């Protein structure tokens, strides 16, 4: 409780004080007037004191808004409702309505403020400074004063301020705030580090590879901060609804105050009183506040798990996903290929060496793995022998080495090269190599399935989501993996453009919502074309972050079913709030019109519903695994 007060802002404390004072004054007046009945005008003036204490700012704002032309503003409605209550002699009710209105506003203000703060705290990845080496000396500067190729020093406990490559030192990094992954990552010389991670133990020297505005941290923060700009369809519905709801209820209130007394020739007081109830209930604030707040909490909850959702609309779509389309390499598999066998057909050439040189400039997972495997033998590909290189997406590499045309890739590439090749009896991904149209043999490589893939696929199946795998790899390997994981449909031998065509075929079914999950390496078109493009393990890959709607920061496929769970839960809470708020309001309107519900019930319909809806919205912030 003490903590609750300590965290209130000055403004919030002042409002709390005003609420307490006016509650006490109202109670005191009620008791006193019960004992000593006073003249009507005297009690009116006395009740005006707590009323003005609590409501003066509402009255002022309402007046200002009328001048500005917005009459259906809630401040104005509260003013009319309470002024009307004074007019019909319900002084106590007038004070109560104003008190509860302010209490609701205060509560909303605190809840929204704290949620925003805690999301900022969860995404507390903003670095404060960088230790840059200038003129041989270490200087502490702001991260945006560091440039590409500057050398920075990061000490234990410090946050990595900019993306870069380790020049010296070994350490482990805690990337939990970025990826939701609790295990530290070990880094050595040559590894890249991403900004926002925390250096745990060693001192490392890092060469900066991007300036602050282009760094991972800036991009993530920008994403999260802009996420609420992209509205979900249901948010659009709520704000459209609010636009009509208030005027309609106000018109009904006017009719209720005028028509029955004219027809029934009864007294005006009772009907005006009922009309005032309408005015109190006419504010759609429970919806207008709680729906965006729920999305905000849902997005915050996802970020804490290393899932960046670029907008409420994508959270909404994610909750409706019927089919998840996986790209195989790097998504379901590790994307790190081990060399299983080398089958040369000509002794004159070193197959492995040529492949390593040809692949040395590519960042395709196969290329990185070949170069890495070659490096394990203590050698480095001699790039000076390499001329022009052409990467043929979905097929392989065409490179000029020692002036000759070398092709490294799959069967389709061999056909392109004109070399007569043959398949291998081993299963795996086969890299054929040819030189100037002569077939040299092949390298058998294999990519391990990620340990979590199978569970991720079965969790999606449990949630009634169909799984599809697309790959440029050969049929037998693709089907083997598909079977092992329990994927519903497998399509192999696809070029990147074929993947887009497949996604388009799937989207064509109006009953389905398609999510495509890829690593962003040559599948950006499919990411963009799908209903929800999900980039996996996208930390550091700008193209993937750019092209996708949802970014899974670590490369654990289990983040996918988790994202769906969070999205569905968020949507459920949104719907609960809409149904609850509308049902209560309609009920109170009906009961108010027939004279069963009084002003107090109306106040509950307004403030009580708001508070309950906001509390419910906050539940979206927590997820059970």
Residue ranges that bind Mg ion, judged by CB under 5 A: 327, 329
| Residue 171 phi, psi dihedral angles, 5° rounding | -165, 180
Chain centroid offset of residue 608 CA? 29
Residue 27's CB is within 10 A of a number of other CB atoms, namely 13
**Is 327 a catalytic site residue?**
yes
| 538 part of the interface to ligand ADP, by CB under 6 A | no
| HSE, side-chain direction, 13 A CA sphere, residue 323 | 23
- Give residue for tokens 């009906």: 590
Report how far residue 250's alpha carbon sits from residue 72's, in angstroms, rounded to the nearest whole number. 8
Q: Which range of residues in 40-48, 151-159, 267-275, 407-415 is near ligand ADP by CB under 6 A?
A: 407-415
Name which of Mg ion, ligand ADP, none residue 367 binds, using a CB cut-off of 5 to 8 Å depending on partner kind: ligand ADP
Tokens found for residue 376:
């394990």
Q: Minimal distance in Å, beta carbon 415 to ligand ADP?
A: 13
- CA dist 143 to 150, 187, 191, 200, 300, Å? 11, 22, 21, 20, 25
Position 603 contacts ligand ADP (CB under 6 A):
no
Nearer to Mg ion, 467 or 577 (CB): 467
Q: Residues 279-318: x/- map of binding to ligand ADP (CB under 6 A)?
A: ----------------------------------------
Q: How many residues bind ligand ADP (CB under 6 A)?
A: 22
- CA separation, residue 253 to residues 22, 138, 247, 274, 276 (Å): 28, 71, 10, 8, 7
Task: Find residue 390's DSSP bridge partners.
Answer: 398
Q: Which residues on adjacent β-strands are paired with residue 517?
A: 326, 534
Which is closer to ligand ADP, CB of 362 or CB of 434? Answer: 362
With CB under 6 A as the contact rule, the residue among 75, 395, 398, 442 that binds ligand ADP is 395
Report the nearest approach of Mg ion to the CB of residue 247 (Å). Answer: 54
- Alpha-carbon distance values, 324 to 320, 548, 569 (Å): 11, 14, 18
Question: How far is CA 553 from its chain centroid?
Answer: 11
Distance CA 278, CA 14 (A): 30
Instruction: Please give the residue whose beta carbon sits closest to Mg ion in the complex.
Output: 329
Pairing mode, strands 386-392 and 204-208: unpaired
Report the distance separating Cα 523 and Cα 462, nearest Å: 27
429 binds, among Mg ion, ligand ADP, none (CB under 5 to 8 A by kind): ligand ADP
Beta-strand relationship, 466-470 and 323-327:
parallel
245 or 337: CB nearest ligand ADP? 337
544 binds ligand ADP (CB under 6 A): no
The reply on whether position 366 binds ligand ADP by CB under 6 A is yes
Measure CA of the first residue to CA of the last residue in the chain; give whole Å. 29
Give the nearer residue to Mg ion in terms of CB position, either 316 or 327: 327
Q: Which is nearer to ligand ADP, 73 or 359 (CB)?
A: 359
User: What is the longest distance spanned by two Cα atoms in the chain?
Assistant: 116
Judged by CB under 6 A, the residue of 329, 513, 554, 556 near ligand ADP is 329
Supply the minimum distance, in Å, between the C-beta of residue 393 and Mg ion: 9
Does residue 394 interact with ligand ADP by CB under 6 A?
yes
Q: Which stretch binds ligand ADP (CB under 6 A): 24-32, 86-94, 393-401, 535-543?
A: 393-401
Residues 454-473 that bind ligand ADP (CB under 6 A): 471-473
**Active-site choice (327, 523, 531, 555):** 327
Q: Give min distance, CB of 553 to ligand ADP, in A.
A: 20
Q: Which stretch binds ligand ADP (CB under 6 A): 79-87, 283-291, 363-371, 617-625?
A: 363-371
Beta-sheet strands, E only, within 353-454: 386-392, 396-401, 404-409, 429-435, 438-449
Residue 395: contacted member of ligand ADP, Mg ion, none (CB under 5 to 8 Å, by partner type): ligand ADP
Residue 328 binds ligand ADP (CB under 6 A): yes
Strand order in the sheet with 396-401: 333-344, 438-449, 429-435, 404-409, 396-401, 386-392
With CB cut-offs between 5 and 8 Å by kind, which of ligand ADP, Mg ion, none does residue 410 bind? Answer: ligand ADP
Residue 396 found at the interface with ligand ADP (CB under 6 A): yes
Surface-to-core class of residue 276, CB atoms within 10 Å of its CB (0-12 exposed, 13-18 middle, 19+ buried) = buried
Beta strands in 486-620 (DSSP E): 489-491, 514-518, 532-536, 550-552
Distance in Å, CB of 458 to ligand ADP, minimum? 22
The pattern of x and - marking residues 425 through 454 that bind ligand ADP according to CB under 6 A reads: ----x-x-----------------------
- Distance (Å, whole) CA 521 – CA 391: 12
User: Minimum Å distance from CB 477 to ligand ADP?
Assistant: 8
CA distance 619 to 298: 9
Figure out which of the listed residues 127, 298, 409, 605 binds ligand ADP, where binding follows CB under 6 A.
409
Decide: is 397 part of the binding site for ligand ADP (CB under 6 A): yes
CB-based contacts of 240: which residues, under 8 Å, 6+ apart? none
Does 522 engage in binding with ligand ADP (CB under 6 A)? yes
Query: Smallest distance from the beta carbon of 329 to ligand ADP, in angstroms?
Result: 3
When the beta carbons of 271 and 326 are compared against ligand ADP, the nearer one is 326
Cα–Cα distance measured from residue 380 to residue 433, given in angstroms and rounded to the nearest whole number: 19
| Cα radius of gyration (the chain) | 33
Examine residue 364 and tell whether it contacts ligand ADP (CB under 6 A).
Answer: yes
For residue 193, what is the enclosing H or E element? strand 192-193
123 to 332, 397, 465: CA distances (angstroms): 27, 40, 30
Q: How far is the CB of 329 from Mg ion (least distance, A)?
A: 4
Of residues 284 and 482, the one with the C-beta less far from Mg ion = 482
What is the nearest approach in angstroms of Mg ion to the Cβ of residue 69? 56
**Least distance (Å) between residue 134 CB and ligand ADP:** 40
Q: Which stretch binds ligand ADP (CB under 6 A): 202-210, 271-279, 391-399, 616-624?
A: 391-399
Residues that bind ligand ADP (CB under 6 A): 327-329, 359, 362, 364, 366-367, 394-397, 408-410, 429, 431, 471-473, 496, 522
Active-site residue set: 327
């Amino acid at each position: 409780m003490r903590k609750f007060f300590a965290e209130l802002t000055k403004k919030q404390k002042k409002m709390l004080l005003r609420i307490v004072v006016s509650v006490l004054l109202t109670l005191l007046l009620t008791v006193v007037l019960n004992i000593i009945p006073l003249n009507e005008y005297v009690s009116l003036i006395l009740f005006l004191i707590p009323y003005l204490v609590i409501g003066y700012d509402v009255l002022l704002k309402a007046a200002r808004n009328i001048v500005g032309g917005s009459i259906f503003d809630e401040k104005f409605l509260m003013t009319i409702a309470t002024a009307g209550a004074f007019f019909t002699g319900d002084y106590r009710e007038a004070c109560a309505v104003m008190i509860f209105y302010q209490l609701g506003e205060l509560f909303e203000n605190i809840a929204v403020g704290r949620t925003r703060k805690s999301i900022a705290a969860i995404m507390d990845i903003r670095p404060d400074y960088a230790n840059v080496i200038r003129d041989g000396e270490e200087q502490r500067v702001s991260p945006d004063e560091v440039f590409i190729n500057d050398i920075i020093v990061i000490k234990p406990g410090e946050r990595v301020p900019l993306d870069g490559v380790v020049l010296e030192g070994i350490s482990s990094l805690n990337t939990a705030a970025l990826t939701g992954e609790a295990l530290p990552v070990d880094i050595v010389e040559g590894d890249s580090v991403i900004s926002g991670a925390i250096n745990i133990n060693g001192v490392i020297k890092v060469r900066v590879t991007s300036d602050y505005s282009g760094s991972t941290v800036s991009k993530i923060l920008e994403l999260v901060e802009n996420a609420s700009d992209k509205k979900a369809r249901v948010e659009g519905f709520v704000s459209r609804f609010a636009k009509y709801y208030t005027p309609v209820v106000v018109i009904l209130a006017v009719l209720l105050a005028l028509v029955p007394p004219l027809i029934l020739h009864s007294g005006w007081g009772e009907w005006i009183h009922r009309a005032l109830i309408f005015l109190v209930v006419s504010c759609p604030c429970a919806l207008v506040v709680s729906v965006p707040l729920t999305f905000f909490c849902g997005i915050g909850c996802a970020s804490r798990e290393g899932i960046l959702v670029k907008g409420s609309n994508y959270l909404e779509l994610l909750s409706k996903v019927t089919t998840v389309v996986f790209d195989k390499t790097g998504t379901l598999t590790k994307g790190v290929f081990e060399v299983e066998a080398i089958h040369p057909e000509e002794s004159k050439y070193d197959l492995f060496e040529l492949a390593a040189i040809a692949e040395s400039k590519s960042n395709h997972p196969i290329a990185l793995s070949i170069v890495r495997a070659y490096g394990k033998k203590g050698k480095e590909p001699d790039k000076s022998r390499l001329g022009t290189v052409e990467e043929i997406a979905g097929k392989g590499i065409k490179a000029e080495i020692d002036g000759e045309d070398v092709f490294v890739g799959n069967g389709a590439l061999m056909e392109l090269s004109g070399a007569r090749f043959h398949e291998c009896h081993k299963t795996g991904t086969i890299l054929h190599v040819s030189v100037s149209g002569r077939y040299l043999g092949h390298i058998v490589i294999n990519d391990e399935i990620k340990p979590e893939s199978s569970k991720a696929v079965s969790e999606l199946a449990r949630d009634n989501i169909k799984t599809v795998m697309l790959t440029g790899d050969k049929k037998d390997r693709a089907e083997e993996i598909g079977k092992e994981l329990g994927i519903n449909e497998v399509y192999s031998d696809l070029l990147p453009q074929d993947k887009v065509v497949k996604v388009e075929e799937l989207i064509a079914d109006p009953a389905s919502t398609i999510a495509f999950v890829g690593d962003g390496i040559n599948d950006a078109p499919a990411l963009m074309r799908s209903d929800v493009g999900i980039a996996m393990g996208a930390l550091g890959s700008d193209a993937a972050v750019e092209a996708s709607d949802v970014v899974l920061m670590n490369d654990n496929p289990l983040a996918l079913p988790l994202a769906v769970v969070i999205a569905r839960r968020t949507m459920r809470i949104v719907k609960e709030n809409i149904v609850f708020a509308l049902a209560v309001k309609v009920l109170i309107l009906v009961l108010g019109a027939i004279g069963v519900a009084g002003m107090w019930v109306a106040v509950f319909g307004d403030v009580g519903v708001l508070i309950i809806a906001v509390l419910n919205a906050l539940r979206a912030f927590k997820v059970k695994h």
